[in-house]
């Protein structure tokens, strides 16, 4: 489940970064909410990466997605 969340968060971060890049130099300003969302996605990505690293170090690989 953490890996799925990590992948989804990476997609969100990439989309927000692409949006920033598209508006750069166009004179269009992104709303403060978009900037805040990008910053939040970055913080979440770092937190998830740390959680995944800790999980890998412990050798734990739980399927929290409810499959099976």
Region 29-44 average pLDDT: 82
Structure token digits, residue 27: 């004179």
For the chain, what are the domain ranges?
2-58
Structure token digits, residue 64: 């929290």
- What pLDDT sits at residue 4? 80
- What pLDDT sits at residue 68? 43
Region 5-14 average pLDDT: 81
- What pLDDT sits at residue 60? 56
Helix (H) or strand (E) holding 7: helix 2-23
Helix/strand/coil for 29: coil
> What's the whole-model pTM score?
0.53
């Amino acid at each position: 489940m953490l890996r799925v969340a990590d992948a989804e968060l990476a997609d969100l971060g990439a989309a927000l970064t692409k949006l920033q890049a598209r508006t750069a130099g166009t004179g269009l300003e992104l709303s403060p909410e978009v900037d805040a969302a990008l910053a939040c996605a970055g913080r979440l990505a770092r937190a998830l990466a740390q959680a995944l690293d800790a999980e890998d170090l412990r050798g734990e690989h739980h399927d929290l997605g409810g499959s099976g």
